[in-house]
Amino acid sequence: MQAWRERDLDAVYPILWLDAIHYKIKDNGRYISKAKYTILGLNIDGKKEHLGLYLSEMKAHTTGSACSRIFIIVAVIACVDGLTGFPGAIESTYPKTKIQHCIVHQIRNSLKFVASKHQKAFMADFKCVYKAATLNGAENALDELENMWAEKYPMVIKSWRNKWPTLSATFKYPDYVRKAIYTTNAVEAVHRQFRKLTKTKGGFPNENSLLKLLYAGILKASERWTHPVKN
């Protein structure tokens, strides 16, 4: 595992998917929550690669801080969910990297604030935004959505407006790239493999016991990554 963690990485990864999963680990006689940062890369041959195993203690407003110290590589697009700290860590390390917030996560979070009786109609209107063919079309659809729903759900519209620069990065690219970057599903699939391995564990006696188990999960998950991503 240590040899794998210290291996040389490629110089360029066109796409990175970033997320974190949390575990209880014993530290000085008590269990504390630590984040395992998962950074999945797509190399220039179109193959996915898990780039490393890193743990960080969870503290307010520091999520993602460990990621700013991890890699000396070139990343073109970084796909993240709503975790606080990821965008800032990415921008400080890779200032030219485009950040794409996961649209699927944003939709799920939005629906939490929409009454169940309105959700079907709301989503039908919202689909015109994230399914638009162009950035201009998406922005026009968002304007129409605001006109129809802002009075009932101002916080939802405000959230999309505030995050629009990173929610809309996907529109800069052709369809075959957009399909890869509009969601963090690629890294979430890795986390599902981790959860299968750790679901019976309430906590871990030390960091190394967790890392070894997750490393086994990485080996298992990567067995399915033999074929490159199309295009």
Let me know: does 64 contact 86? Beta carbons within 8 Å.
Answer: yes
What confidence category does residue 149 fall into, taking pLDDT thresholds of 50, 70 and 90?
Answer: very high
This prediction has a pTM of: 0.85
Report the residue count for the chain.
Answer: 231
- For residue 45 the two structure tokens come to 């041959």
Q: Rounded to whole angstroms, how far apart are CA atoms 109 and 101?
A: 12
CATH 3.40.50 fits 2-102+183-222, yes or no: no
Q: Rounded to whole angstroms, how far apart are CA atoms 40 and 138?
A: 28
Least confident of 178-182, 191-195, 225-229: 225-229
Give the model confidence (pLDDT) of 177-189 as tens digits. Answer: 898 899 998 888 8
**C-alpha of 177 from chain center:** 16
Is the pLDDT assigned to residue 215 strictly greater than 80? yes
Give the model confidence (pLDDT) of 35-68 as tens digits. Answer: 888 889 999 888 899 998 888 865 534 444 445 4
Is the pLDDT assigned to residue 69 strictly greater than 70? no
Please give the pLDDT value at position 74: 73
Measured over the CA atoms of residue 88, residue 192, residue 105 and residue 59, the dihedral's sign is negative
- Decide which of 115 and 5 is more confident: 115
The share of the chain scoring above pLDDT 90, in percent, equals 50
Please give the pLDDT value at position 64: 46
Q: Rounded to whole angstroms, how far apart are CA atoms 19 and 12?
A: 20
Q: Rounded to whole angstroms, how far apart are CA atoms 56 and 59?
A: 9
Let me know: does 85 contact 37? Beta carbons within 8 Å.
Answer: no
Give the model confidence (pLDDT) of 84-127 as tens digits. Answer: 777 888 888 888 889 999 999 999 999 999 999 999 999 999 89
Is the pLDDT assigned to residue 158 strictly greater than 90? yes
Let me know: does 84 contact 63? Beta carbons within 8 Å.
Answer: yes
What confidence category does residue 229 fall into, taking pLDDT thresholds of 50, 70 and 90?
Answer: low
Is the pLDDT assigned to residue 152 strictly greater than 70? yes
Domain boundaries, the chain: 2-102+183-222, 104-168
The share of the chain scoring above pLDDT 70, in percent, equals 89
Torsions phi, psi for 36 (to 5 deg): -95, 115
- C-alpha torsion angle, residues 126, 105, 69, 210 (rounded to 10): -170
Block residue for tokens 């890193």:
54
Q: Rounded to whole angstroms, how far apart are CA atoms 74 and 11?
A: 6
Is the pLDDT assigned to residue 154 strictly greater than 50? yes
